[in-house]
Amino acid sequence: MTTQFPPGIQLEKEDERIMTLNIGPQHPGSGHMRLIIKVDGDYIVSCDPDPGYVHRGEEKMAEHRNYLLNIPHLERPVIHDSCNILYPYCLAVEELLGTEVPERAKYIRVIASELNRCVYTMYWLGIYGIFLGHSTMFMWPMADRELLIDLLEAMTGARVTHSFFIPGGVRNDVPPNFEDRVLRQLSYFEKRLKEYEDIFYQNPVLKSRTEGTGILSREDAIRLGVTGSVLRSAGVDFDLRKKEPYDVYDNIDFETQVLKEGDSYARSRVPYLDMLESCNIIRDALTKMPTSGSVRVKLKPNPKGSADEVYRRVESGRGSLGMYLVSNGTPQPYRLKISVGSFRNIICLPYLLKGELLGNMPAVYWSLNYWPVEADR
Amino acid sequence: MSTIVGIIKALNSGVKHLAVKRFTLRYPEEKLKFVGDGYQYDPVSGVAIAGYKGRHMLFHDKCTGCQLCAIACEGVAEAIGMVKVDNKWKQNKKAILPQIDYGKCVFCGLCVDACPFYALYMTNDYELSSFTKESLIYTPAQLAVKAHMNQDVQIAISKRGASHSAELPAPLKKALPPAQPQLESKLKETQEDKEKADDKGDTHG
């Protein structure tokens, strides 16, 4: 960690001992990206992540559509976490248009985004499990995720691409008896999460593979600019829901989950602790939610904002997710810049993998809570 | 020693699942029940009604051929095109109705939000697969048909784990009363009133 070269560009003194391995883009363990790894025997000498295979030009597409029609395509980068990726966009547009969101809509947004965080994290946990060779940990989260998808389906009408958040509130109110259904399925979900503790997190096989691998120190975490669960697993108490509360997060009682170790085990455990905390947030939001009231402010057909620029960010499943919106007074955004947690987290991979065993690569790589499609946008 | 205890605990939590109910939904035989009749939108209040976003349902007698749904879809999927039909209506002099290409539709429901005349809704029908791309294009006549789905299974949670069952779960103590307007019943009322009025007109005529 003492060398100050930018990763990947440095020219290693290569000799015959060093071999280059391309892991990806077709390799199932790589995601939609390529890792150019140089190995000396079984030890990794350098790693160069090569993202960009699923770039879709979301930012450019947003410049040709009005503020409402941008909703369906902006959620595509992370379809399991679609409420959280629309959250900063809606907050930014509302600030630009000067719209005040009804109180009930704010609570519904919090519930939807917390359910979505759990859906995303369960999917990620399944992938993390299968790449560590733990196939039960692939089956269980994939099944238990259905409980939450069922709730979101009742709420929004779609399994993953909800298109639920909209500038001015949410598209529709929650269905009748929704609270009842949430409480029932959430208590079962929590029970299931506790079973994961025994089979996965306290499993000595997992611990021996992840504890002490890919250690990220607190100073490096801050210096490299990582965010979300990677930052919190390195001992930095930074959660945007606490530090910059948006909507009604300042009314809700919850705790930030912080671990000090900074290794792969801590990085994989923080999202799990976040899910348990999300259950508490949803329960708290359900009790504090106003029982009736409007959920959506009707906007004009082609809303125009003042010529201004807005930056809003939220805590998504992968960390800070920000949207920078520039308007020149027309119905379309002049420029939309998306800053995602995935891309900021993958930056630290070359530092973490240096000197690791090649077999530990999946354990370190997937612990970064990285979603390639979101990073490429 | 702790390693052995950990492994035994992990194995034990897996073995316990021999007695747990199966969570798998046996799909073609069982179909999940959704809330209501599908996603609907009330243009007066500007708020939609929760429901599944499946295939659309078009009411020919309400559509005015204003093309707002097609304009909304232009920025999303370009799935809606307006086609000329033979029939003529009082409110639809141009005799054009939307035709939806489900090879392009992303089921976002923004067309339903755009409709100011209660003419376009979404239903619980999601079984749209076909052998050709052409048969995914639904004509206005096909969109007017209401699909009948045998969706009756819900997630049921018991002490033996989660599974699917057709029986309704007993409500918890803190059940909320239905918090939203029943648009369907309202619509039915208005329709009945209209029919009555028509009948009266006929008798007078």
**What does the domain layout of chain A look like in residue ranges?**
58-351+359-368
Min Cα distance A197 → chain B (Å) is 9
Backbone angles phi, psi at A263, to 5 degrees: -95, 180
Min Cα distance B8 → chain A (Å) is 9
Inform me whether the pLDDT recorded for B190 exceeds 60.
no
Q: What share of chain A in percent tops pLDDT 70?
A: 95
Domain of residue B71, CATH code: 3.30.70.3270
Choice among A1-10, A55-64, A98-107, B121-130 with the minimum mean pLDDT: A1-10
Longest dimension (CA), chain A: 71
Do B120 and B128 touch, CB atoms closer than 8 A?
no
Looking at per-residue pLDDT, the higher value among B162 and B101 belongs to: B101
CA gyration radius, chain A: 21
CB nearest to B13's CB, from A172, A188, A199: A199
Taking phi first (over 0 means left), then psi (-120 to 50 degrees means alpha), and beta for anything else, what does residue A31 get?
left
Residue B22 resides in a domain: no
Mean pLDDT of chain A: 86
Task: Test A73 with B72 for CB contact under 8 angstroms.
Answer: no
Do A329 and A172 touch, CB atoms closer than 8 A?
no
Query: Tell me, what's the pLDDT at A5?
Result: 54
Nearest to residue A45, comparing CAs of A346, A357, A264, A364?
A357
Task: Test A175 with B36 for CB contact under 8 angstroms.
Answer: yes
Task: Test B122 with A174 for CB contact under 8 angstroms.
Answer: no
**Residues recorded for chain A:** 377
CATH number of A58-351+359-368: 1.10.645.10
Chain A interface includes B121 (CB < 8 A)? no
Task: Test B122 with A157 for CB contact under 8 angstroms.
Answer: yes
Nearest to residue A165, comparing CAs of A275, A272, A246, A245?
A246
**Residues recorded for chain B:** 205
Task: Test A175 with B75 for CB contact under 8 angstroms.
Answer: no
The mean per-residue pLDDT over the stretch B67-87 comes to 87
3-state secondary structure A240-283: HHHHCCCCCHHHCCCCCCCCCCCCHHHHHHHHHHHHHHHHHHHH
Task: Specify the DSSP element, H or E, that contains A165.
Answer: strand A165-166
The mean per-residue pLDDT over the stretch A161-178 comes to 87
The mean per-residue pLDDT over the stretch A335-364 comes to 87
Residue B55 resides in a domain: yes
Min Cα distance A23 → chain B (Å) is 31
Contacts of B172 in chain A (CB under 8 A): 180, 183-184
Task: Test B76 with A66 for CB contact under 8 angstroms.
Answer: no
Query: Tell me, what's the pLDDT at A99?
Result: 86
Query: Tell me, what's the pLDDT at A324?
Result: 92
Inform me whether the pLDDT recorded for B5 exceeds 50.
yes
Choice among A81-90, A309-318, B23-32, B96-105 with the minimum mean pLDDT: B23-32
SS3 for A169? strand
ipTM entry: 0.76
Contacts of A195 in chain B (CB under 8 A): 13
Inform me whether the pLDDT recorded for B205 exceeds 50.
no
The model's confidence at residue A75, banded by pLDDT at 50, 70 and 90, is confident
Inform me whether the pLDDT recorded for A114 exceeds 70.
yes
Nearest to residue B54, comparing CAs of B130, B190, B146?
B146
In whole angstroms, what is the distance from residue B165 CA to residue B158 CA?
11
| Long-range own/partner contacts, residues B11-14 (CB < 8 A, 24 or more apart) | B12/A198, B13/A195, B13/A198, B13/A199, B14/A136, B14/A199
Query: Tell me, what's the pLDDT at A6?
Result: 54
The mean per-residue pLDDT over the stretch B14-18 comes to 83
Choice among A14-23, A58-67, A101-110, B98-107 with the minimum mean pLDDT: A14-23
Contacts of B67 in chain A (CB under 8 A): none
Query: Tell me, what's the pLDDT at A118?
Result: 92
Which residue in A187, A199, A207 has the most chain B C-beta atoms within 10 A of its own C-beta, making it the best mutation to test that interface?
Answer: A199
Query: Tell me, what's the pLDDT at B201?
Result: 45
Mean pLDDT of chain B: 79
Q: How many of the other CB atoms lie within 10 Å of CB of A3?
A: 8
Dihedral of alpha carbons A116, A121, A127, A133, sign: negative
The model's confidence at residue B40, banded by pLDDT at 50, 70 and 90, is confident
Residue B66 resides in a domain: yes
3-state secondary structure B6-54: HHHHHHHHHHHHHHCCCCCCCCCCCCECCCCCCCEEECCCCEEECCCCC
Choice among A6-20, A159-173, B117-131 with the minimum mean pLDDT: A6-20
Task: Test A172 with B12 for CB contact under 8 angstroms.
Answer: no
Min Cα distance B164 → chain A (Å) is 11
The mean per-residue pLDDT over the stretch A128-152 comes to 88
Nearest to residue A125, comparing CAs of A111, A144, A109, A138?
A138
Please give the residue range of the domain that contains residue B117: 35-146
Contacts of B50 in chain A (CB under 8 A): 154-157, 172-175
CB nearest to B50's CB, from A147, A157, A296: A157
pLDDT in tens, A254-299: 888 888 888 889 988 999 999 999 999 998 898 888 888 888 888 8
In whole angstroms, what is the distance from residue A45 CA to residue A255 CA?
39
pLDDT in tens, A11-27: 555 566 778 888 878 77
How many folded domains does chain B comprise? 1
Q: What share of chain B in percent tops pLDDT 70?
A: 81
Inform me whether the pLDDT recorded for B191 exceeds 70.
no
CB nearest to B155's CB, from A147, A171, A173: A147
Which residue in B53, B73, B124 has the most chain A C-beta atoms within 10 A of its own C-beta, making it the best mutation to test that interface?
Answer: B53
Inform me whether the pLDDT recorded for A4 exceeds 80.
no
